[in-house]
């Protein structure tokens, strides 16, 4: 030991004794190698077993089956498919689109209904609040699968037969409901319809610019401009004028009773309706709870202050409470959307042709290839949830920037 | 000179609009024209639906009939509960042999008695109760439910279960009557309070071992008829799957959560990947994976039965959700706790096991109950891959010849059953949350 060092007041760092078994890096390295080893061994064990089993049973592997033709048809599809011509890849695509279709509409409906019920739960009217509470508790505590099966068997399969179809459009035949599904007229655009579409785009762009100017004006000078009526008039009025000037170039393909079934228009099967209704109701109950929690998380003083500066209750809600509640509402809301997509896989119980029932069940039963098919289906759901959580992250970043 | 009234003005009664029923009604239901309209229309809707439900489900319903035709003869507009009543045994126990149903009931009763002391305020050693339930009960119950040949391992575990059950009941009784722990009570009864601690502990261990030996002798005489898992079903199967699911996914979830928060990159990446994969896919795909891919994973000639496949899938799936609950609980623990534990020289497992986990678990209890509710509801999915759980049984009523086409009533009965179970559990978890957070505020 240097005496000089001590006199100069320089502290000497005590030399750490290197102990192989106590060294942090050695230990962490050891545990990581151990974990990797165990997991690696397990993976190798499973893979080698699988390879051996596939060989013994003479089962083919690889993704070749995707381009071979599928011999079965589905009752509901968004893209064309001919049995015997279309491939299994096409079947995967059909199922995937069907899943996304029903999830999309269920998400829209459940979000609207959920906000409505969530606000109802906070109503000052005792009866309204209790009805909303009963709704939430009943539909949250009954398994979704039971609800789906009930809507399918107990409601949509018991609708009148084709000959006695219900007409929901007061006799015009535009909306037909029976036990084969829901039929509605589809628009068939004529030659000049592009002009109407162009008018819609132009008026929307105009409205956005107008609203942006009005907001800027308010931010800089505090002057408020009436926005709602002019924009609505422009967005609806301009396309309408163009539509009538070009001679109403839009025909409706109305569903017609031909033989034993309705032909024409667009139709969705009862299984779609059952799934849509039950998913919307079930998830609306969950969304209502997060909306309520979000609104309650806003300080009571904000409400009082809003009332204090003379805003009406509706405006207090819209301008003061909701904007502050949104950061608390959105994350659970989006996780609910994710759950809606995942829960749409219960379609298999009622035969709606979603990705699980078409691909993971029917295709798997026909061609085998369990590993590939399960992998593809799971990859699809993972991709959806990755995209949704990516959007959530973007939103969270934006919200954080707005805050101080 | 001022005139001051020194007498206290008598209190006036609160205005009638504040105290009476009418005042309450006016404030909460008829405060404005709009609210009045809203109240009246809501009341009308409630009246219509309640009336409809009561007429269909109660007044016009048929409770006694031999088949669906008789139901229709009795009333066309009412529910046919006779079918559900006829199938009640199946709904609860599946196709379990009718003479052996007592085994399920006994198993359930045992669990209730075992767990009951946890809710009694004067009983001591509650951690012990929880630990023994998790370690021993599944093996005893497993043997009671499936019967057949008893291996040495099962025999030992079942004896352990009986011994610990006796100890726990005795402990609860002593706690309730004398307000002391069983150990103190036994030592006092033997008059050895002056002996050193070590002797006392040895004495207790000797007693426990003696009890275990007696239990083992008794268990070895058991010969229960074997009941194949294919006969299990109904609510019983639902509870078995979700019970095993929740009990096994808790330790799994704790390990995964620790892995995800670990400082070791390899462990963290592996756990995070595992958790995220299973959380982003629907349970039904995991169940399909289990039934189609597990047979390929196993070495040749080794066959897992479907129930085991399903249970493994449920555990894998639920452990990932549990891991996120545990992670949230761990995040609620302040950093000072970790640092304090390090300061007194605890290593990683000491810190986690003795300091962090006990505090975090307390925070997690409401969420764990919530997870249990979710799992119970999700268990209905096993009916899709062909197990006859509660929903599977309910749906097979409509395929039974006398009750052909009876769909609605069984489903409504099942919904009602689930509602009762899940609603009471969620109320309980809410109550726990309030109780536990009340303890936090000093």
**pLDDT value at residue A1:** 44
Chain B's closest residue to A373, CA to CA, is: B289
Residues A270/A157, Cβ–Cβ less than 8 Å: yes
Residues 328-387 in A contacting B (C-alpha not used; CB under 8 Å): 338, 342-343, 345-346, 348-349, 356, 360-361, 364, 370-371, 374, 377-378, 381-382, 384-386
- Give pLDDT tens digits for A1-17: 444 444 556 666 666 66
Residue A196 CB neighbour total at 10 angstroms:
22
Q: What is the Cα–Cα distance from A145 to B379, expressed in whole angstroms? A: 10
- Give pLDDT tens digits for B396-413: 998 888 888 888 899 999
Fold of A88-185+254-402: MetI-like fold (1.10.3720)
Q: How far, CA to CA in Å, does A128 sit from each of A120, B38, B283?
A: 6, 8, 36
**What is the average pLDDT across B110-114?**
91
**pLDDT value at residue B123:** 78
Q: What is the Cα–Cα distance from B163 to B160, expressed in whole angstroms? A: 5
Instruction: Indicate if the pLDDT at residue B4 is higher than 80.
Output: yes
Report DSSP letters for A338-398, one per residue. HHHHHHGGGGGGGT---HIIIIIIIIHHHH--HHHHHHHHHHHHHHHHHHHHHHHHHHHHH
**What is the average pLDDT across B143-172?**
88
Structural domain boundaries in chain A: 88-185+254-402
Chain A's closest residue to B301, CA to CA, is: A53
User: Nearest CA to CA, how far is A3 from chain B (Å)?
Assistant: 33
**Structure token digits, residue A54:** 């596939």
**Structure token digits, residue B110:** 């045992």
Q: What is the Cα–Cα distance from B63 to B69, expressed in whole angstroms? A: 13
Q: Which domains does chain B have, with CATH numbers?
A: 99-226 (no CATH), 232-399+407-442 (1.10.3720.10)
Tell me the chain A residues in contact with residue B411 when contact means C-beta distances shorter than 8 Å.
146, 149-150, 153-154
Helix then strand then coil, % of chain A, to nearest 5? 70, 5, 25
Q: What is the Cα–Cα distance from B380 to B159, expressed in whole angstroms? A: 33
Smallest Cα–Cα separation from A148: which of A346, A363, A377, A402?
A346
Mean pLDDT across chain B, nearest whole number? 87
The residue of A145, A339, A381 whose CB has the most chain B CBs within 10 angstroms, and thus the best one to mutate to test that interface, is: A145
A382: burial class by Cβ within 10 Å (0-12, 13-18, 19+)? middle
Q: Using alpha carbons only, give the angle B192, B197, B198 rounded to the nearest 5 degrees.
A: 105
Residues 129-158 in A contacting B (C-alpha not used; CB under 8 Å): 131, 137-138, 140-147, 149-150, 153-154
The four Cα atoms A100, A103, A104, A105 give a dihedral, to 10 degrees, of: 130
**pLDDT value at residue A396:** 80
Instruction: Indicate if the pLDDT at residue B274 is higher than 90.
Output: yes
Q: What is the Cα–Cα distance from A205 to A215, expressed in whole angstroms? A: 15
Tell me the chain B residues in contact with residue A289 when contact means C-beta distances shorter than 8 Å.
none
- Give pLDDT tens digits for B359-378: 888 788 888 888 999 999 99
- Give pLDDT tens digits for B303-329: 888 899 999 999 999 999 999 999 988
Residues A353/A361, Cβ–Cβ less than 8 Å: no
**pLDDT value at residue A9:** 60
CB contact under 8 A, A349 and B415: no
Report DSSP letters for B319-358, one per residue. HHHHHHHHHHHHHTS-HHHHHHHHHTT--HHHIIIIIIHH
Lowest mean pLDDT among A83-87, A268-272, A356-360, B154-158: A83-87
Q: Using alpha carbons only, give the angle A165, A77, B382 rounded to the nearest 5 degrees.
A: 90
Q: Using alpha carbons only, give the angle A19, A23, A27 rounded to the nearest 5 degrees.
A: 130
Instruction: Indicate if the pLDDT at residue B188 is higher than 60.
Output: yes
Chain A's closest residue to B378, CA to CA, is: A143
In percent, the amount of chain B with pLDDT more than 90 equals 32
**pLDDT value at residue A380:** 94
pLDDT band at B253 (very low <50, low <70, confident <90, very high): very high
Q: How far, CA to CA in Å, does A138 sit from each of A284, A333, B54?
A: 12, 20, 17
- Give pLDDT tens digits for A224-235: 777 778 888 888
Instruction: Indicate if the pLDDT at residue B295 is higher than 60.
Output: yes
Instruction: Indicate if the pLDDT at residue B130 is higher than 90.
Output: no
- Give pLDDT tens digits for B189-208: 776 666 667 777 787 788 88
A289-301 core/surface letters (b: 16 or more CB in 10 A; e: else):
bbbbebbeebeee
Distant-in-sequence, close-in-space partners of A145: CB < 8 Å, separation ≥ 6: A346, A349, B380, B381, B383, B384, B391
Lowest mean pLDDT among A146-155, A185-194, B253-262: A185-194
Lowest mean pLDDT among A123-137, A204-218, A247-261, B344-358: A247-261
């Amino acid at each position: 030991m240097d005496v000089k060092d001590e006199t100069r007041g320089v502290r000497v760092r005590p030399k750490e004794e290197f102990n192989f078994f106590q060294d942090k890096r050695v230990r962490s390295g050891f545990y990581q190698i151990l974990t990797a080893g165990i997991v690696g061994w397990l993976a190798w064990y499973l893979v080698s077993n699988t390879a051996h089993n596939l060989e013994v049973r003479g089962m083919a592997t690889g993704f070749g089956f995707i381009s071979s033709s599928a011999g079965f048809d589905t009752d509901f599809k968004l893209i064309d498919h001919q049995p015997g011509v279309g491939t299994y890849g096409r079947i995967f695509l059909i199922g995937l689109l069907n899943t996304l279709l029903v999830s999309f509409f269920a998400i829209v409906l459940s979000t609207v209904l959920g906000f409505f019920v969530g606000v109802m739960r906070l109503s000052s009217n005792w009866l309204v609040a209790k009805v909303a509470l009963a709704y939430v508790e009943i539909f949250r505590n009954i398994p979704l699968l039971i609800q789906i099966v009930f809507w399918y068997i107990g409601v949509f399969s018991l609708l009148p037969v084709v000959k006695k179809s219900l007409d929901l459009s007061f006799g015009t035949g535009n909306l037909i409901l029976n036990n084969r599904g829901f039929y509605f007229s589809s628009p068939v655009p004529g030659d000049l319809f592009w002009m109407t579409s162009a008018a819609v785009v132009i008026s929307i762009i105009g409205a956005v610019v107008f609203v942006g100017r009005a907001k800027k004006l308010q931010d800089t000078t505090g002057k408020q401009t009436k926005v709602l009526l002019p924009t609505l008039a422009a967005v609806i009025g301009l396309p309408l004028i163009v539509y009538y000037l070009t001679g109403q170039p839009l025909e409706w393909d109305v569903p017609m009773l031909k033989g034993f079934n309705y032909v024409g228009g667009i139709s969705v099967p009862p299984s779609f309706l059952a799934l849509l209704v039950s998913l919307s109701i079930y998830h609306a109950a969950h969304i209502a709870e997060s909306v309520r929690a979000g609104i309650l998380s806003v300080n009571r003083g904000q409400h009082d202050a809003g009332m204090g500066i003379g805003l009406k209750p509706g405006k207090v809600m819209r301008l003061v409470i909701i904007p502050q509640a949104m950061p608390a509402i959105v994350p659970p809301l989006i996780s609910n959307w994710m759950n809606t997509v995942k829960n749409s896989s219960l379609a298999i119980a009622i035969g709606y042709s979603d990705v699980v029932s078409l691909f993971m069940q029917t295709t798997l039963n026909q061609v085998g290839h369990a590993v590939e098919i399960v992998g593809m289906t799971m990859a699809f759901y993972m991709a959806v949830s990755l995209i949704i959580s990516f959007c959530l992250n973007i939103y969270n970043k934006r919200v954080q920037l707005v805050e101080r | 000179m001022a005139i001051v009234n020194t007498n206290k003005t008598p209190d006036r009664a609160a205005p009638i609009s504040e105290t009476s029923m009418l005042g309450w009604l006016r404030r909460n239901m008829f405060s404005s024209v709009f609210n009045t309209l809203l109240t009246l229309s809501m009341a009308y809707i409630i009246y219509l639906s309640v009336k409809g439900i009561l007429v269909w489900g109660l007044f016009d319903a048929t409770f006694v009939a031999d088949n669906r035709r008789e139901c229709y003869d009795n009333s066309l507009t009412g529910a046919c509960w006779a079918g559900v009543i006829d199938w009640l045994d199946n709904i609860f126990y599946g196709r379990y042999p009718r003479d052996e149903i007592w085994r399920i009931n006994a198993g359930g009763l045992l669990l209730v008695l075992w767990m009951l002391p946890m809710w009694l305020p004067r009983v001591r050693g509650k951690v012990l109760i929880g630990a023994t339930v998790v370690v021993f009960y599944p093996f005893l119950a497993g043997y009671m439910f499936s019967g057949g040949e008893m291996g040495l391992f099962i025999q030992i575990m079942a004896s352990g279960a009986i011994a610990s059950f006796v100890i726990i009941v005795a402990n609860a009784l002593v706690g309730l009557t004398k307000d002391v722990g069983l150990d103190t009570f036994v030592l006092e009864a033997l008059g050895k309070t002056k002996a050193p601690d070590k002797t006392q502990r040895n004495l207790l261990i000797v007693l426990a071992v003696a009890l275990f030996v007696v239990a083992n002798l008794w268990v070895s005489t058991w010969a229960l008829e074997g009941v194949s898992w294919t006969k299990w079903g109904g609510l019983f199967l639902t509870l078995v799957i979700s019970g095993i699911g929740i009990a096994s996914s808790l330790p799994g979830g704790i390990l995964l959560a620790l892995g995800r928060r670990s400082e070791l990159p390899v462990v963290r990446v592996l756990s995070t990947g595992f958790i995220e994969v299973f959380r982003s896919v629907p349970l039904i795909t995991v169940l399909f994976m289990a039934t189609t891919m597990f047979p390929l994973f196993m070495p040749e000639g080794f066959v897992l039965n479907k129930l085991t496949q399903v249970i493994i899938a449920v555990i894998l799936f639920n452990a990932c959700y549990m891991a996120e609950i545990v992670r949230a609980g761990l995040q609620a623990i302040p950093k000072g706790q970790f640092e304090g534990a390090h300061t007194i020289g605890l290593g990683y497992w000491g810190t986690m096991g003795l300091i962090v986990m006990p505090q975090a678990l307390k925070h997690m209890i409401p969420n764990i109950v919530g997870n249990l509710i979710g799992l119970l509801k999700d268990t209905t999915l096993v009916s899709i891959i062909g197990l006859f759980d509660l929903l599977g049984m309910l749906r097979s009523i409509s395929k039974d010849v006398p009750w052909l086409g009876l769909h609605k009533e069984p489903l409504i009965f099942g919904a009602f059953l689930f509602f009762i179970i899940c609603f009471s559990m969620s109320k309980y978890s809410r109550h726990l949350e309030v109780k536990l957070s009340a303890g936090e505020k000093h």
